[in-house]
């Protein structure tokens, strides 16, 4: 159930939040002047439904671009993302040279395995 906002409030445009992780979706919504909500108005808030873990918005109502009153609600459907879907994925140091996997390589020495 979508709440269109307080009577007499200025109108704002609903942002696109599909594909965002829930904390980012909440931030984008807040900056646009709307609130992210779960589909069940009597259920727990979205923050309680999406903790712990990484949750991604997969659908929203009303659609992006719809005009509602400031602080109206945008109902979202979410799914839990797999572990490791978010976060830094780059290696912290270069991988070892070919053939050195059985010996630890000194990160300061680019010439070969540690002695």
Q: What residues pair up with 21 in beta bridges, in sequence order?
A: 56
User: For position 114, what pLDDT does the model report?
Assistant: 53
More confident residue, 5 or 100: 5
End-to-end CA distance of the chain: 67
| CA count, 13 A, side-chain hemisphere, 105 | 16
Percent of the chain having pLDDT more than 70? 68
Sheet-wide strand order for 55-61? 35-37, 73-80, 55-61
Per-residue pLDDT tens digits for 62-80: 999 999 999 999 999 999 9
């Amino acid at each position: 159930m979508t709440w269109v906002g307080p009577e007499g409030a200025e109108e704002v445009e609903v942002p696109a939040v599909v594909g965002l992780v829930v904390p980012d979706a909440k931030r984008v919504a807040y900056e646009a002047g709307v609130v992210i909500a779960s589909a069940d108005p009597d259920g727990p808030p979205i923050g309680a439904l999406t903790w712990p873990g990484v949750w991604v918005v997969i659908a929203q109502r009303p659609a992006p671009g719809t005009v509602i009153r400031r602080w109206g609600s945008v109902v979202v459907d979410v799914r839990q993302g797999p572990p490791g879907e978010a976060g830094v994925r780059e290696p912290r140091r270069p991988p070892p040279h070919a053939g050195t996997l059985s010996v630890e390589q000194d990160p300061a020495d680019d010439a070969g395995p540690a002695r």
